[in-house]
Amino acid sequence: MEIVQILKPDGTLVNSSLEPKLSQEQLKKLYHYMVLTRLMDERGLMMQRQGKIGFYVTSTGQEAIVGGALALEKDDWVFPAYREHAVGLFLGMPLKIFIAQLFGNSEDANKGRQMPNHFAYAPIHYVSISSPIATQVAQAAGAAMAMKLKKQKTVCITYFGDGGTSENDFHAGMNFAGVYKAPCIFYCSNNQYAISVPVEKQTAQQQISEKAKAYGFPGIRVDGNDVLAVYKVVKDAVDRAKRGEGPTLVESYTFRMGPHSSSDDPTRYCPKSKLDEWAKQDPIKRFKAYLINKKLWSEKEDAALIGKIKQEISDVITEVTQAKPPALSTLFEDVYKEMPLTLQWQKEALLEEAKQKGSFKDSSEAFPL
């Protein structure tokens, strides 16, 4: 299958007629959040190594995924996987909310209930990440069907990796959406490894976009390191869904430049030669070259942006780390609209015990992953 590409690795255009008509503000915003994501990944992995947080998942090399966020509108819904940091931040998740979730303290919108790197932010319809692989695919298909039944002009987009296409939920979600023409975009980040398993060892159909044919809707393959191409294919898919024409499977052909998570050592299974080859296609360097070629950016501006973002990250981390743990009372909240009497008794008993003891000692063990 032909791969959609607008920018070559050196930042020049493949075909000027394919170049999307985006404003300077939109282009610079895309670049800002690509850089923010890369720098946040560097700091996040460093904090995990220092023992300040228990777990982190990087998206280094896959920052061009942010192009799809530009194609969404405020009422659309996102069902993410692990590496969609750029999408959440671009759509309006505050950096403080993002970082606080890694610590799970009182500043965390999830109140410490989710494992680290499992972000959620209701104001932008960014649904909580699920740990089980590909469960979000079926969830998004169902939510999209609900939108259709309500006659809403909105879409769901769900993200998953190449390994997720071998899971039951992938089949269930794709089949359901195909049958009922649900307004759903299935975005597969084919970064060529399902943790340590190469794509050819987990699926016989190596062009994942071809799998859409079995479910009766289009599949398209895009250069996942080309932010403009990602924007174009997702925008086309969103427009198609909102016209009532049903779902689209987007295969983003990319590469994971870092570990699967902070618990992984990719040198045990990924040849250095492959890493070196993909480093030449770095999505940030590619887009930066494009902006400079268009006289929209400069090395001086780039250095200033990097310095500004690094300072912002440091300031937010300093603020977040001063927060206390979530209040004990939150253990009992946000489950029922009206708290059952049995839970109310338990809550009162725990708070009374805390009052008598003065404080609780953290007896939890280190995060196991």
Q: b/e for 219-236, b at 16 or more Cβ within 10 A? A: bbbbbbbbbbbbbbbbbb
Mapping DSSP to helix (H, G, I), strand (E, B) and coil, where does residue 61 land? Answer: coil
pLDDT digits (tens, 9 = 90+) for 259-300: 999 999 999 999 999 999 999 999 999 999 999 999 999 999
Active site residues: 256, 260, 269
Bridge partner list, 126:
78, 121
Rounded to an integer, what is the distance from CA 293 to the centroid of its chain?
29
pLDDT digits (tens, 9 = 90+) for 311-338: 999 999 999 999 998 998 998 988 899 9
**Average pLDDT over the chain, rounded to an integer:** 94
Q: What pLDDT band is residue 365 in, cutting at 50, 70 and 90?
A: low
Q: Can you give the residue ranges of every domain in the chain?
A: 3-321, 327-369
Q: Give me the CATH code for the 3-321 domain, please.
A: 3.40.50.970
pLDDT digits (tens, 9 = 90+) for 117-132: 999 999 999 999 988 9
Angle at 172 between CA 186 and CA 89, to 5 degrees: 30
Would you say the C-alpha torsion 88, 89, 91, 97 has a positive or negative sign? positive
pLDDT digits (tens, 9 = 90+) for 26-66: 999 999 999 999 999 999 999 999 999 999 999 999 999 99
pTM attached to this predicted model = 0.94
